[in-house]
Homo-oligomer: A and B are copies of this chain.
Amino acid sequence: MPATASGNSLRERGVRITRQRQILLELIDGSGKHLDAEELYRLAKEKDPKLNRVTVYRTLKMLKKGGLVDELDLMHYGGDQHYYETRLKQEHAHIICLRCGKVEEFFGDPLQKLRRQVEEHFGFHILLTRTEIGGYCSHCQALRERELEQAVEQDAPAERPRKRG
């Protein structure tokens, strides 16, 4: 169970495993999606209504610092918040459809090659990497074209969804 693994690894560093942290770790590990702080908070409150938003932020910060989770921006698709995922062994890129918001993950040798080349070329010691690719998924490409045609007809440009506003 990944949550337990993280728990152990944290415990060894002298970090206390509180009820709140267990809940949050399980959610980050268990949910198949990339959660942002607010969504994580919402889910966590279902398990413990007293759990505070601040605790979510503090826990995320700690996990980030400890290298247990990675922080993503997902091309700011949904706004300026950050998304989180448990750190995998293998590097991968995130591919975000700017129309439907679907996120794909790409594991491939260009990423490892990039890493190696950067280390060699600059003598750089890499700690974290983030590769994000935005555009339209195969499904949305046709739909997008139709949208644009309609937009021209109606002179009403379609904006992508935002949380604010």
Contacts and interface: CB of A to CB of B under 8 A. Distances in A.
Interface of A: 14, 71, 73, 75-76, 80, 93, 95, 97-98, 104, 106, 108, 110-111, 113-115, 117-118, 121-138, 141, 162-163
Contact of A127 (B73, B110, B134): B134
B111 A114 contact: yes
Contact of A128 (B106, B125, B135): B135
Contact of A124 (B95, B115, B126): B95
20 contacts: A93-B114, A95-B122, A97-B124, A106-B114, A106-B117, A106-B122, A108-B117, A110-B110, A111-B114, A114-B131, A122-B137, A124-B135, A124-B136, A125-B136, A127-B134, A127-B135, A127-B136, A128-B135, A129-B134, A131-B131
A103 to B, nearest CB: 11
A75 B131 contact: no
Determine the main DSSP class of A at the interface with B. Answer: mixed
Contacts of A14: 162-163
Nearest to A139: B123
Nearest to A106: B118
Contacts of A76: 71
Given A123-B137, A124-B137, 14 more contacts: A75-B128, A95-B122, A97-B124, A106-B117, A106-B118, A106-B122, A108-B114, A113-B113, A114-B114, A118-B133, A123-B138, A124-B133, A124-B138, A129-B131
